[in-house]
Amino acid sequence: DAPEDPSSWKFNAEDEVYEKEVTEWLQKDVTDGKLFYKHTGPHNADTIVDQFTFRVQDDNDPPNLSGDSVFIIRVLPIDDVPPELFAGTSLEMTVEEYKLTHFSKEVLRYTDLDSEDRDL
Q: Say yes or no: 94 and 118 in one domain.
A: yes
Note the pLDDT of residue 25. Answer: 95
In whole angstroms, what separates CA 25 from the centre of its chain?
Answer: 23
Q: Say yes or no: 71 and 83 in one domain.
A: no
Distance CA 86, CA 111 (A): 6
- The predicted model scores a pTM of 0.66
Domain that holds residue 53: 44-78
Question: For 54-86, what is each residue's pLDDT tens digit?
Answer: 999 999 999 999 999 999 999 998 888 899 999
Query: What is the number of structural domains in the chain?
Result: 3
Question: For 4-61, what is each residue's pLDDT tens digit?
Answer: 888 889 999 988 889 999 999 999 999 998 899 999 888 888 899 999 999 999 999 9
Q: Say yes or no: 59 and 72 in one domain.
A: yes
Q: Say yes or no: 84 and 61 in one domain.
A: no
Query: Rounded to the nearest 10 degrees, how much is the dihedral formed by the CA atoms of 98, 104, 83, 91?
Result: -60
Distance CA 23, CA 35 (A): 11
